[in-house]
C-alpha cells in the first residue's frame, strides 16, 4: 500500500510539471485552488528556476478554478498573474504569451459575469502583444483571437459575423490541431448555434461530428469535464432541433444526453459545470425543483451568468407549480420574496427577478387575478439590461415571455 501511495504521488508530481493541464480535470475544485496557490507561491520565490513559466501556469490554474467555482477572488488572482507576466516579460515570445494570459482572463470574466467591454479589452490586449514567429505560440494566439471573435459574433446576432467567426476558428484549429480542447468545444457550439438559426444541415452535421469526436476521445476516467461539456452541448443541440421541429424523440434523446453529462462528475467537483447542466435540463418538467434550488445555492452571491439563469428557471418552475394547484397565496408569497431582495440584487440577478415577476403576474392573471400592470415595460427593461450585460439567453427568456403575454 505504501509503495502504491508513493508511486501515485510520483505520478502526480510528474503531471504537475507537464505542459498539458488535462490532469486537473481529475481533481476537485478545492484541491485545484490549493494547486493554484502553490504555483503562485513558487513563482514568487527567488529560487524559482523558471518564474515566467511558473507564473503562467498559476494563471491557468486560477482561471480554471474560477471557471469551475465562480470565485471572484480566483478571477482577480488570474488577472494579477497576467499583469505580473506583462511586467516580467522579456522578448517577443514572452510578451505575446503574457498578452494571451491577459486576454484569457478577460474572456473568462465575460463568460462568467458578462459585460461585452471585457471582450474589447481582451482583443486590445492580444493586439498589444504583437506578432511572434514561433508557430506554436502564434497558433495559440490565433485560437484565443478566434474564440473572442466568436463571442462578439454571437452577441451581434448577425449571420455573416457568425460565419466569419467560424472561418477564423477553422483556421485556428488547423494551426493548433486537436490539442486545443476549448477551441474545439467553442467551435462546435458556434456551429450548432449557427446551424439552428440558419436551418443549415451542413453546419449541424459538422457540429454533431465534432462533438461526437470529443465525446469519443474524452475518457470519463481522464477527461470527465470535457466529456460532460461535450455531452451537454449534444443535448442542447438535440433539444433546440426538437423545439424547432416538434420532434419528441429528439427531445427525449436530449434529456438522455443531459443526464449522461450530469453523471460524469459530482456537484462539488465542478459546481458551475453542474449548475449549467441543470439550467439546460430545466425545460424538462420531470426535473425535480430541488436540483434547481441546489444549483442556485451553489451559484448565488457571485454575480454569475449561470447563477442568474438558474434563478430565473427556478422562479419559473415555482410559478408554474403554484399555478397548477391554483395557489394565489403562493404566487403572492413568491412575489414578496422577489421584491424584498430587488434593491440588493446584482444587475444579472435583477434581470432574472424581473422575468420572474413577469411569470408570476401572468400566472396570477390566468387564475382570474388582475391583469398585469406595466408588464411590457418591465420585460422590455429586462431585455435591454440583459443585452447590455452580454447575456442573450436572459434577453431571449424575457423576449419570449413578452411575446407570450401578447403585450
Per residue in 149-171, is it b (16+ CB within 10 Å) or e — as a string? bbbbbbbeeeeebbbebbebbee
C-alpha angle 175/177/180, rounded to 5°? 100
- 187 pLDDT higher than 90: yes
SS3 state at 199: coil
266: in domain: no
Number of domains into which the chain is organized: 2
312: in domain: yes
Q: How confident is the model at residue 8 (pLDDT cuts 50, 70, 90)?
A: very low
pLDDT of residue 15: 54
6: in domain: yes
Distance of CA 70 to the CA centre of its chain: 10
Least confident of 11-25, 338-352, 353-367: 11-25
- % of the chain beyond a pLDDT of 90: 67
pLDDT of residue 407: 60
Enter the C-alpha cell of residue 156: 451581434
Q: Where are the alpha helices (DSSP H) in 246-304?
A: 248-262, 271-281, 289-299
pLDDT of residue 19: 66
- pTM (2 decimals)? 0.92
Enter the C-alpha cell of residue 189: 457550439
403: in domain: yes
57: in domain: yes
- 387 pLDDT higher than 80: yes
Calculate mean pLDDT across residues 263-270.
94
Q: Residues near 104 by Cβ (< 8 Å), separated by ≥ 6?
A: 59, 63, 78, 82, 122, 144
The answer to whether 134 and 93 have CB atoms below 8 angstroms apart is yes
pLDDT of residue 3: 46
Q: Which tens digit of pLDDT belongs to each residue from 197-209?
A: 888 888 888 888 8
Q: Residues near 44 by Cβ (< 8 Å), separated by ≥ 6?
A: 51
The answer to whether 148 and 119 have CB atoms below 8 angstroms apart is yes
The residue ranking higher by pLDDT, 82 or 221, is 82
143: in domain: no
The residue ranking higher by pLDDT, 243 or 46, is 46
Q: What is the distance between the alpha carbons of residues 361 and 175, in angstroms, rounded to a whole number?
A: 53
What range does the domain containing 317 cover? 302-407
pLDDT of residue 10: 54
- 1 pLDDT higher than 50: no
18: in domain: yes
Neighbouring CB atoms inside 10 A of 45's CB total 10
Chosen domain end from 133, 158, 188: 133
pLDDT of residue 140: 93
pLDDT of residue 12: 53
pLDDT of residue 351: 95
Q: Which tens digit of pLDDT belongs to each residue from 303-349?
A: 999 999 999 999 999 999 999 999 999 999 999 999 998 888 899 99
Chosen domain end from 86, 108, 133: 133
Chosen domain end from 81, 107, 133: 133
pLDDT of residue 231: 94
Q: Which tens digit of pLDDT belongs to each residue from 131-158?
A: 777 778 899 999 999 999 999 999 998 8
- 42 pLDDT higher than 50: yes
Q: What's the mean pLDDT when you consider all of the chain?
A: 89
Calculate mean pLDDT across residues 287-304.
92
Q: Which tens digit of pLDDT belongs to each residue from 65-117?
A: 999 999 999 999 999 999 999 999 998 999 999 999 999 999 999 999 999 99
pLDDT of residue 2: 35
Q: What is the distance between the alpha carbons of residues 331 and 324, in angstroms, rounded to a whole number?
A: 11
pLDDT of residue 201: 83
Least confident of 2-11, 47-56, 89-98, 388-397: 2-11
C-alpha angle 404/297/224, rounded to 5°? 95
Q: Where are the alpha helices (DSSP H) in 70-200?
A: 72-88, 91-113, 117-128, 135-156, 159-176, 181-198
291: in domain: no
SS3 state at 181: helix
- 30 pLDDT higher than 60: yes
Amino acid at each position: 500500500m505504501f509503495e502504491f501511495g508513493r508511486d501515485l504521488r510520483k505520478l502526480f508530481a510528474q503531471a504537475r510539471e507537464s505542459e498539458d493541464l488535462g490532469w486537473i480535470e481529475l481533481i476537485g475544485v478545492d484541491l485545484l485552488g490549493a494547486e493554484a496557490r502553490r504555483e503562485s507561491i513558487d513563482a514568487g520565490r527567488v529560487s524559482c528556476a523558471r518564474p515566467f513559466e511558473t507564473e503562467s501556469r498559476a494563471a491557468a490554474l486560477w482561471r480554471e478554478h474560477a471557471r469551475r467555482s465562480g470565485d471572484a477572488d480566483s478571477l482577480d488572482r488570474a488577472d494579477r498573474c497576467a499583469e505580473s507576466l506583462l511586467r516580467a516579460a522579456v522578448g517577443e515570445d514572452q510578451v505575446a504569451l503574457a498578452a494571451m494570459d491577459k486576454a484569457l482572463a478577460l474572456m473568462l470574466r465575460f463568460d462568467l459575469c458578462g459585460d461585452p467591454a471585457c471582450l474589447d479589452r481582451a482583443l486590445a490586449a492580444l493586439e498589444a502583444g504583437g506578432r511572434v514567429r514561433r508557430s506554436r505560440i502564434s497558433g495559440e494566439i490565433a485560437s484565443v483571437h478566434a474564440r473572442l471573435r466568436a463571442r462578439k459574433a454571437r452577441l451581434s446576432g448577425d449571420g455573416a459575423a457568425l460565419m466569419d467567426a467560424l472561418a477564423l476558428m477553422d483556421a485556428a484549429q488547423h494551426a493548433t490541431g486537436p490539442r486545443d480542447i476549448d477551441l474545439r468545444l467553442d467551435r462546435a457550439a458556434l456551429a450548432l448555434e449557427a446551424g439552428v438559426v440558419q436551418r443549415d444541415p451542413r453546419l449541424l452535421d459538422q457540429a454533431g461530428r465534432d462533438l461526437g469526436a470529443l465525446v469519443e476521445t474524452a475518457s470519463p476516467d481522464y477527461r470527465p469535464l470535457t466529456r460532460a461539456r461535450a455531452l451537454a452541448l449534444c443535448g442542447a443541440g438535440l433539444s433546440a432541433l426538437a423545439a424547432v421541429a416538434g420532434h419528441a424523440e429528439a427531445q427525449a434523446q436530449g434529456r438522455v444526453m443531459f443526464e449522461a453529462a450530469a453523471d460524469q462528475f459530482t456537484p462539488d467537483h465542478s459546481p458551475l459545470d453542474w449548475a449549467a447542466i441543470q439550467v439546460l435540463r430545466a425545460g424538462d418538467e420531470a426535473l425535480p425543483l430541488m436540483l434547481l434550488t441546489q444549483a442556485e445555492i451553489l451559484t448565488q452571491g457571485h454575480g454569475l451568468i449561470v447563477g442568474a439563469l438558474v434563478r430565473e428557471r427556478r422562479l419559473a418552475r415555482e410559478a408554474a407549480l403554484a399555478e397548477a394547484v391554483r395557489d394565489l397565496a403562493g404566487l403572492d408569497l413568491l412575489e414578496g420574496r422577489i421584491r424584498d431582495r430587488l434593491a440588493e440584487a446584482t444587475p444579472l440577478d435583477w434581470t432574472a427577478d424581473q422575468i420572474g415577476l413577469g411569470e408570476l403576474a401572468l400566472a396570477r392573471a390566468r387564475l382570474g387575478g388582475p391583469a398585469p400592470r406595466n408588464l411590457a415595460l418591465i420585460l422590455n427593461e429586462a431585455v435591454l439590461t440583459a443585452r447590455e450585460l452580454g447575456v442573450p439567453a436572459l434577453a431571449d427568456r424575457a423576449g419570449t415571455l413578452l411575446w407570450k403575454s401578447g403585450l
